[in-house]
Amino acid sequence: MGAGISKARFAQAFQSKKEKYYRIAYSYVKNEHDALDIVGEAAYRGLKNLRAVKSPETLDTWITRIVINAAIDLIRGRARLVICEDAVLETAAVPERDLVPEDSLDLFQALDALSERDRTCVILRYFEEYTFPEISAVLQEPEPTVKSRLYRALRKMRAFLEKGDTDHERGKKAL
């Protein structure tokens, strides 16, 4: 195996953070079954391409990228007819103690309206509490770019939430 990563080491690392990978997948698809499929697909892809790991220190970042790419592949591979399911309101992945269900739905709609890269920045920073250097490593972009992307995405989400969903209901993309 490349860089001394064995299948057993990969399995141990994947198993120890499987809940995190599930939360990331779920934040993209908002569906338990699809999120589980994504995690399974990520495990398969990881084992299949284990030689691509550059060093043991980058294993978690590498697996996170695989999960994100698998989620994006699933979304691209099907028509997006359902924005959100009822299960989103029950998710434990995001601490939403102060939000009512309507606020949660609006938040996820604002998140869905972002580009894939912008959505990934927001998810990793605020749902998974990644630092800017960690996000930079996952996205393979310079840290200043990540910061700009994140703050731009937050402004777009704020505008979406302040404006309401009137444009979205008429079939226009709000962001």
- Show me where the domains of the chain are located: 1-84, 94-175
Looking at per-residue pLDDT, the higher value among 108 and 57 belongs to 57
Q: Which CATH class is domain 1-84?
A: mainly alpha
Q: Which of 31-40, 76-85, 135-144 is the least confident region? A: 76-85
CA geometry: angle at 126 spanning 117 and 62, to 5°? 55
In this predicted model, what pLDDT tens digit does every residue of 21-79 receive, in sequence order? 999 999 998 889 999 999 999 999 999 999 888 888 999 999 999 999 999 888 887 64
pTM (predicted TM-score): 0.66
- The CATH number given to 94-175 is 1.10.10.10
pLDDT surpasses 60 at 91: no
